[in-house]
């Protein structure tokens, strides 16, 4: 079922084409906005794009289209043209029908598109360090997009690729051998991923010291970086790992198990999960057969030194290495192989990679190569690129131990939630366990909403205190609106008995709340189409704002009549249902009491 705004686009296009056949106007050519409060009407059609082409003044064009709409559709009652804007009033019977037939689950699943098989890949942690602030934005985006796409009728698989091999893993292993003295997460009471991450930092500190000593003894800096004993030991460990040396594999398995245990705790705290996890140690050899096939097809070419390349200059890119001269693969080769493997296993229509914008070029190359090789599903590869999250002090650097740790940040948000709730004197009636649950709901919700409310393509700076402001553009504001509604409905004795609601003589705040509610399925469809959870964030905040306006101007407890009381209770109930539904898709809980 189309929203009334979408239906107005359809009807307006029909009006243009009936009155001006040569114009050939399409629905997507028409811009529809909500009518500004100072004018009559509910929705506004922007006329300016058509005025020049049709050689009509805005008033004449608006009157012609408006008359056609009112005369040919009982959905519209009257119109008014102001400058280049055609304001249209929606028939009250439409709002009555919408309110009395409200079915949220049916509305959000009634899209007109064909369901697709979609994979959303996100998180992609390294097993040499814990998750950090950047991973949080990645996980929150991945979960929200997967939820939104599934809710709009698609078959969605959530996957994660763990980077569990390579020189960066060996750095932590070497450092533990050198400095660990047999310590374990249990013996030091340290979370597993934090424990291993500390040795990655120790490696970097030791490496810097060794390089400085070699330079002080007369060696050039570039050579010192290669000759530092700890680096040479790390490189040898990588060789031993690839050779399957038993003692190296045993240490690798042990340290990775510590990290996975730590990751599981973090994922549970932030509400992140996966249907399938791929491990680079199992996939890094994938793609080698595709390189041979690409050489045979002429997609790739081999240089004199034996390395294999692809020339993408005609596609506006450059030449790209796909196999080193020693026969080993590079990251792009592994990704090509894994893309083919996923397609074979899941038969995907779309494969969405949630990865930061520093990898934009990589994913352009990946899609192009897969298309040129004829990998099934290559056209469905999509890079959901997002901007980095920075601190007021600048970028994070994991090797220097200056990242904002995900666990620390979650704990700080929960602490701030408790501090704010206690300062406001809103702890009465809660047990200690209930308060702790409430603080987690508020703190984690604030963190998720703040990182999702910005368009994924944009960079952002995270401010913990701003993210939890009860009066700001925050989850806390929305959560409080929901809790207020639950309290109001209980106090006013609301019973959802599904009787017909009288919508005659709607007051403006009542009607505006109803209009915004009706927009939800369309907003959800937009968020799915654009892979953009921020559309839901903006919508839900707007809904909560309008409810507050409605609440201030339209008393439920002191309504003018029993019919008005019931109408307002139903409007409040529907608002709460939409808030719960939308916030749940964003991965955010809403409490019934705050």
Q: Report pLDDT for 112.
A: 59
The answer to whether residue 350 is domain-embedded is: no
**Element counts in the chain: helices (H) and strands (E):** 24, 14
In the block, which residue shows the tokens 């996890």?
277
User: Residue 554: how many CA atoms within 13 Å on its side-chain side?
Assistant: 24
Is there a single domain that holds both residue 63 and residue 188? Answer: no
The answer to whether residue 108 is domain-embedded is: no
Q: Mean pLDDT, the chain, as a whole number? A: 93
Domain boundary pick from 278, 302, 326: 278
Q: Predicted confidence band at 359 (pLDDT cuts at 50, 70, 90)?
A: very high
Domain boundary pick from 278, 311, 334: 278
The answer to whether residue 305 is domain-embedded is: no
Res 399 pLDDT > 50: no
- CATH number (domain holding residue 561): 1.10.730.10
Domain count along the chain: 3
Res 93 pLDDT > 50: yes
CA distances from 463 to 357, 386, 468 (A): 21, 18, 9
Q: Is the pTM of this model over 0.85?
A: yes
The answer to whether residue 353 is domain-embedded is: no
The answer to whether residue 307 is domain-embedded is: no
CA distance 564 to 119: 47
Is there a single domain that holds both residue 428 and residue 535? Answer: yes
φ, ψ of residue 329 in degrees (nearest 5): -90, 165
The answer to whether residue 561 is domain-embedded is: yes
The answer to whether 386 touches 138, Cβ cutoff 8 Å, is yes
| Mean pLDDT within 270-289 | 94
pLDDT tens-digit map of 472-507: 999 999 999 999 999 999 999 998 777 788 888 889
The answer to whether 221 touches 215, Cβ cutoff 8 Å, is yes
Q: Predicted confidence band at 36 (pLDDT cuts at 50, 70, 90)?
A: very high
Is there a single domain that holds both residue 187 and residue 59? Answer: no
- CATH number (domain holding residue 33): 3.30.1360.70
Is there a single domain that holds both residue 437 and residue 532? Answer: yes
The answer to whether residue 272 is domain-embedded is: yes
Domain boundary pick from 250, 278, 306: 278
| Distance, first Cα to last Cα, the chain | 35
Is there a single domain that holds both residue 274 and residue 420? Answer: no
Is there a single domain that holds both residue 51 and residue 173? Answer: no
Report the 10 Å Cβ neighbour count for 179: 14
Is there a single domain that holds both residue 203 and residue 70? Answer: no
What range defines the domain where residue 48 resides? 4-90
pLDDT tens-digit map of 111-135: 556 899 999 999 999 999 999 999 9
Res 395 pLDDT > 60: no
Is there a single domain that holds both residue 512 and residue 411? Answer: yes
pLDDT tens-digit map of 362-373: 999 999 999 999
């Amino acid at each position: 079922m189309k929203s009334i705004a979408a239906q107005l686009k359809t009807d307006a296009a029909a009006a243009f084409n009936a009155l001006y056949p040569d114009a050939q106007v399409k629905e997507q050519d028409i811009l529809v906005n909500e009518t500004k409060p100072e004018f009559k009407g509910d929705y506004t059609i922007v006329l300016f794009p058509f005025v020049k082409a049709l050689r009509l003044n805005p008033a004449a064009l608006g009157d012609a289209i408006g008359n056609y709409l009112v005369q040919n559709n009982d959905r519209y009652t009257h119109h008014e043209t102001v400058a280049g804007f055609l304001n249209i009033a929606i028939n009250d019977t439409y709002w009555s029908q919408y309110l009395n037939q409200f079915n949220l689950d049916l509305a959000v699943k009634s899209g007109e598109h064909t369901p697709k098989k979609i994979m959303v890949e996100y998180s992609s942690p390294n097993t040499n360090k814990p998750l950090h602030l950047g991973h949080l934005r990645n996980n929150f985006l991945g979960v929200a997009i997967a939820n939104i796409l599934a809710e709009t009728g698609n078959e969605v698989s959530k996957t994660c690729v763990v980077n569990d091999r390579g020189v960066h893993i060996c750095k932590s292993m070497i450092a533990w051998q050198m400095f660990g003295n047999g310590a374990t997460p249990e013996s030091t009471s340290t979370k597993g991923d934090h424990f291993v991450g500390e040795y990655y930092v120790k490696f970097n500190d030791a490496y810097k010291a060794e390089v400085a000593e070699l330079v002080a003894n007369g060696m050039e800096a570039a050579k010192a970086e290669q000759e530092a004993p700890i680096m040479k030991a790390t490189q040898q460990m990588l060789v031993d790992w690839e050779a399957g040396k038993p003692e190296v594999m045993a240490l690798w398995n042990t340290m990775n198990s510590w990290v996975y245990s730590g990751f599981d705790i973090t994922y549970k705290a932030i509400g992140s999960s996966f249907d399938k996890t791929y491990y680079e140690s199992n996939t890094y050899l994938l793609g080698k057969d595709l390189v041979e096939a690409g050489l045979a097809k002429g997609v790739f070419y081999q240089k004199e030194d034996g390395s294999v390349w692809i020339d993408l200059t005609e596609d506006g890119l450059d030449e790209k290495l796909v196999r080193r001269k020693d026969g080993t693969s590079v990251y792009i080769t592994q990704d090509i192989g894994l893309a083919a493997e996923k397609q074979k296993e899941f038969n995907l229509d779309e494969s969405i990679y949630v990865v930061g914008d520093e990898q934009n070029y990589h994913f352009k190359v990946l899609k192009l190569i897969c298309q040129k090789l004829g990998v099934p599903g290559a056209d469905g590869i999509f890079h959901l690129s997002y901007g980095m999250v920075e601190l007021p002090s600048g970028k994070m650097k994991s090797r220097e131990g200056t990242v904002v740790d995900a666990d620390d940040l979650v704990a700080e948000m929960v602490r701030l939630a408790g501090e704010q709730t206690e300062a406001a004197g809103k702890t009465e009636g809660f047990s200690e366990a209930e308060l702790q649950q409430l603080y987690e709901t508020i703190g984690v919700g604030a963190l998720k909403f703040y990182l999702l409310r910005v368009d994924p393509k944009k960079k952002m700076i995270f401010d913990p205190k701003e993210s939890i402001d009860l009066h700001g553009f925050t989850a806390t504001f929305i959560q409080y609106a929901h809790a207020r509604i639950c309290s109001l409905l209980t106090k006013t004795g609301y019973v959802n008995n599904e009787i017909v609601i009288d919508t005659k003589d709607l007051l403006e705040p009542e009607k505006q709340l109803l209009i915004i509610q009706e927009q939800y399925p369309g907003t959800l469809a937009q968020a799915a189409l654009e892979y953009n959870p921020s559309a839901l964030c903006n919508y839900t905040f707007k809904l909560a704002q309008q409810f507050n306006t409605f609440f201030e101007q339209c008393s439920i407890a002191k309504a003018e009549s029993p019919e008005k009381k019931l109408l307002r209770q139903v409007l409040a109930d529907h608002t709460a249902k939409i808030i719960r539904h939308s916030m749940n898709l964003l991965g955010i809980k809403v409490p019934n009491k705050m």
